Amino acid sequence: MIQINDVTKYYRDVKVIEHFSLEVSDHTSLVVLGPSGCGKTTLLRLIAGLEIPDEGEIYINGSLVSCPGWVLPPHRRSIGFVFQTSALWPHMTVSQNIRFGLHSGNDGRVQEMLTRTGLMELANRYPSQISGGQARRVALARALAPEPEYLLLDEPLTNLDPDLKQEMLTLIKETVANTGGSLIYVTHDAGEANHISERIIEIKIYRDE
């Protein structure tokens, strides 16, 4: 379970998140829907340990992972993250990108993720040699390969055409259902949120005024 307790975050002098609290139970999915600038990305970055809260604490499975001045390193949180841009490492092939988060000798898992995401033929290609839609699939496969307990998706379908969006939404739903982990999906697009909403709980961000 992820527990966010009364978290506040500033960027320079801008208060991006203010006294925000949230609980995400295991094996659940939730969509955080909100307009640009409301702090959705910051929320995911706080959960992932990429940002330190200025106030409040974050707990994962009952253990404190973030508080002002201290964070548990991101790689010890069992979290998968799909960024707005694919963020594939250009000096690694598709399979190397997916393998990066795995322990050595776990080639079976790489093959499984390549098959599941339909990337088998692209395994030895570099990110510059694949299309934008394929890159998003690699990013998803990479995030899921280490079997994280929590998968965070930060507007993963931005700038994709409608057909690709549909294909990716189906893929996300299927793969997350197969892995059985929790999902936090951030978007500003109500259509995307509704597409996933059959199986998720929609939560509104509460802010003190």
Counting every residue written for the chain, the total comes to: 209
Per-residue tokens: 93: 């092939």
119, 44, 108, 105: which is closest to 79 by C-alpha? 44
> DSSP 3-state assignment of 38?
coil
Candidates 99-107, 113-121, 168-176, 193-201; binding stretch for another protein (CB under 8 A): 99-107
| Min separation Cβ 79 and another protein, Å | 6
Question: DSSP assignment, residue 206?
Answer: P
Distance CA 92, CA 86 (A): 14
Does 68 bind another protein (CB under 8 A)? Our answer is no
> Looking at 11-19, 118-126, 130-138, 160-168, which segment touches another protein (CB under 8 A)?
11-19
User: If residue 49 lies in a helix (H) or strand (E), which one and from where to where?
Assistant: none
Stretch that binds another protein, among 34-42, 109-117, 130-138, 188-196 (CB under 8 A): 34-42
* Distance separating alpha carbons of residues 43 and 31, to the nearest angstrom: 12
Minimum CB distance to another protein smaller for 78 or for 115? 78
List residues near another protein by CB under 8 A. 11-12, 14, 16, 36-37, 39, 41-42, 45, 48, 50-52, 71, 73-75, 77, 79-81, 83-85, 87, 89-91, 100-102, 139, 142-143, 146
